[in-house]
Amino acid sequence: MAMADGKGKLERYNSYIRKMNSSKALAASSKLLFRASILIALFLVFFLTLTSYPTEVRRRLSSTSSFGAASARWGGPLWEKQVRHSSTPRRPNGFSVLVTGAAGFVGSHSSLALKKRGDGVLGLDNFNDYYDPSLKRARQALLAKQSIFIVDGDINNAYLLAKLFDVVPFSHVLHLAAQAGVRYALQNPSSYVHSNVAGLVSLFEASRQASPQPAIVWASSSSVYGLNEKAPFSEVDRTDRPASLYAATKKSGEAIAHAYNHIYGLSLTALRFFTVYGPWGRPDMAYFSFTKDILQGKAITIFERADGQDVARDFTYIDDIVRGCIGALDTAQRSTGSGGRKRGPAQLRVYNLGNTSPVTVKGLVGILEGLLGLTAKKNVVRMPGNGDVPFTHANVSSSVRDFGYRPTTDLATGLRKFVKWYVNYYGIKITKGDAASSSSSSRYSS
Ligand SMILES: NC(=O)c1ccc[n+]([C@@H]2O[C@H](COP(=O)([O-])OP(=O)(O)OC[C@H]3O[C@@H](n4cnc5c(N)ncnc54)[C@H](O)[C@@H]3O)[C@@H](O)[C@H]2O)c1
């Protein structure tokens, strides 16, 4: 009995130990499970929060920047005061315009022109380094003298856009911020998608949610005509054969604009600019880099078409483009949506803004040679298939009809103004004379 009792006790004890062990294991494993769940939940919260942030916020959190764009600093009472002050019109029934890309070439000129006639102007620009940002800062300083404030930020920053529309009831947006240039797409294709597609959607989203919804005038491009051969280019011509990623993103923009107009009642006007040039222009463009290289005695590369014919462009002077932008803003009807919803059909327009008289690139170089008093060292090569089109020529009858657009500056006059600005800005002295007989390096100093 004692033996049986002892055995029974032992068995009971062993089974007790087993139970204890298994419940300990259970407790340990459920503790482990609990901790793991917390860790997974924390990870998920962090991941979802991060991925639902707008691009700009993610960009700042990850501290990687697209081509070294300055990180935006915005917000606070002083900042809001500057934003309001800059956006307030000084004429009766004046506009309150948000100009994106205001530190850029067309943006800076347009901002000054709007301000001059009494409209309120607020700039927005990310000051990226696609070309020398010091030129953008110099334009910013020029605008600041006229009390135009440029917010340093990216159009992909949904928080910033929402804040701007919250602080100011913009009547209009002149949207010029974009990744410009055709050949740079071979090096940095995503910059085109970032600014010209994602950025455009971000701006349209903020605009359709704004109250009131602004009317939007934005820069498309003559490049949308792509491989179109019918000249002059009319707005009804084919634009479904882009020759570059830049052109494809601008064409996508026009399709996106159609959708936002259709769904949300946004009033949208696309302007197809034709090769804009002039003072404070873009250093990546041929007329600008040719001027620099001719002055430095460097050879310039001129493209010719596969059939040996000259490449030609409908070069359009900046003041004509600015008048076109203002004409489009003045005739833009109100958006019809409110509370993010469409209340009726809204205006949807596309216009060419060109000069209507193409000049060959060799002709452009000839004018520059005359103005600089130097002969260019020319390297003529067959145009590579990297996105450039051989010929552009605008038919502007729609913009003439609808807002009296009339380009008035020919290429020689416009380039004279550009060269005057260029030598003054870069502190270059030109001594005119027999260009062919002197070395270019002895002909200027900076
Ligand atoms: N200049 C031309 O010949 C020409 C021809 C056709 C179309 N366009 C279009 O006209 C507009 C203005 O061109 P531009 O010649 O003044 O170019 P620009 O490069 O001088 O100006 C564009 C400005 O936008 C800014 N920007 C770019 N991406 C941005 C972003 N994600 N967020 C905030 N700012 C951003 C840049 O910093 C720059 O200052 C562009 O949309 C361009 O595609 C220009």
Could you read off the pLDDT of 238-279 as tens digits, one per residue? 999 999 999 999 999 999 999 999 999 999 999 999 999 999
- Exposed, middle or buried, 418 (CB in 10 Å: 0-12/13-18/19+)? buried
Instruction: Specify whether 13 is catalytic.
Output: no
Residue 378 backbone phi and psi in degrees, to 5: -100, 135
HSE, side-chain direction, 13 A CA sphere, residue 293: 18
Please, which pLDDT band fits residue 333 given cuts at 50, 70 and 90? very high
Task: Give me ligand 1 centre to Cα 64, in Å.
Answer: 22
φ, ψ (nearest 5 deg) of residue 148 = -105, 125
Q: Which residue has a Cα nearest atom 38 of ligand 1?
A: 104
Q: What is the DSSP letter of 107?
A: H
Q: Are strands 377-382 and 172-175 parallel, antiparallel or unpaired?
A: unpaired
Residue 19 has pLDDT above 50, yes or no: no
The pLDDT of residue 151 is above 90: yes
- Cβ proximity of 220 and 328 under 8 Å: no
Task: Determine which residue's CA is closest to atom 20 belonging to ligand 1.
Answer: 104
- The ligand 1 atom at the shortest distance from the C-alpha of residue 69 is 37
Most informative mutation of 105, 109, 132, 204 for ligand 1 (most atoms within 8 A of CB):
105
Return the residue whose CA atom lies nearest to atom 13 of ligand 1.
106
Given the CA of residue 180, which atom of ligand 1 is nearest to it? Answer: 43
Which atom of ligand 1 lies nearest, measured to the CA of 127?
37
3-state secondary structure of 213: coil
* Residue of minimum CA distance from atom 43 in ligand 1: 180
Residue 25 Cα to ligand 1 middle (Å): 65
Centre of ligand 1 to C-alpha 176, Å, is 5
SS3 58: helix
For residue 426, give the 3-state DSSP assignment. Answer: coil
Q: Write out pLDDT tens, residues 190-216.
A: 999 999 999 999 999 999 999 999 999
Label residue 396 left, alpha or beta by phi (over 0 means left) and psi (-120 to 50 means alpha): alpha
HSE (side-chain half, CA atoms, 13 Å) at 415: 22
Query: What does each C-alpha distance from 77 to 73, 380, 393, 414 come to in angstroms?
Result: 13, 57, 49, 43
Q: What percent of the chain has pLDDT over 70?
A: 80
Report the nearest atom of ligand 1 relative to the CA of 246: 43
Question: Which residue's alpha carbon is at the smallest distance from atom 7 of ligand 1?
Answer: 221
Q: The domain 68-276+320-357+397-409: what is its CATH number?
A: 3.40.50.720
d(CA 79, CA 87): 12
Q: Which residues are paired to 391 by β-bridges?
A: 312
Distance, in Å, from the CA atom of 80 to the CA atom of 86, rounded to the nearest integer, reads 10
Closest residue (by CA) to atom 18 of ligand 1?
Answer: 104
Is 178 buried (19+), middle (13-18) or exposed (0-12) by CB count in 10 A? buried
Average pLDDT, the chain: 85
Closest residue by Cα to atom 10, ligand 1, is 219
Taking residues 359-384, report their average pLDDT.
Answer: 96
Which mutation among 154, 176, 277 tests ligand 1's pocket best, with the greatest number of atoms within 8 A of CB? 176
Q: How far is the CA of 31 from the centre of ligand 1 (A)?
A: 57
DSSP string for residues in 272-307: EE--EE-TT--TTSHHHHHHHHHHHT-EEEEEE-TT
* Residue 134 Cα to chain centre, angstroms: 17
pLDDT at 95 over 80: yes
Averaged pLDDT for residues 313-336: 98
Quote the ligand 1 centre to 61 CA distance (angstroms): 26
* Pocket residue to mutate for ligand 1, from 74, 128, 287, most atoms within 8 A of Cβ: 128
Query: What is the pTM assigned to this prediction?
Result: 0.84
CA of 343 to the centre of ligand 1 (A): 32
Using the atom order of ligand 1, give the atom closest to the CA of residue 106: 16
Q: Characterize the bridge pairing of strands 312-313 and 268-273.
A: unpaired
CA of 282 to the centre of ligand 1 (A): 9
Q: Is the pLDDT of residue 14 over 60?
A: no
CA–centroid distance, residue 334 to ligand 1 (Å) = 25
Q: How far is CA 342 from the centre of its chain?
A: 26
Cα 322 to middle of ligand 1, angstroms: 14
| pLDDT of amino acid 35 | 56
Of residues 130, 184, 225, 246, which has the active-site annotation?
246
* Per-residue pLDDT at 181: 96
Lowest-confidence region among 31-40, 100-109, 215-224, 433-442: 433-442
Best residue for ligand 1 mutational test, from 111, 125, 156, 275 (most atoms within 8 Å of Cβ)? 125
Q: Report strand pairing: 299-304 vs 377-382.
A: parallel
Q: Which atom, in ligand 1's list, is nearest to the CA of 275? A: 3
Q: Closest ligand 1 atom, CA of 222?
A: 6
Which residues have any ligand 1 atom within 6 Å of their CB? 101, 103-107, 125-128, 136, 154-156, 176-180, 195, 199, 219, 221, 273, 275-276, 282
Residue 22 binned pLDDT confidence (cut-offs 50, 70, 90) = very low
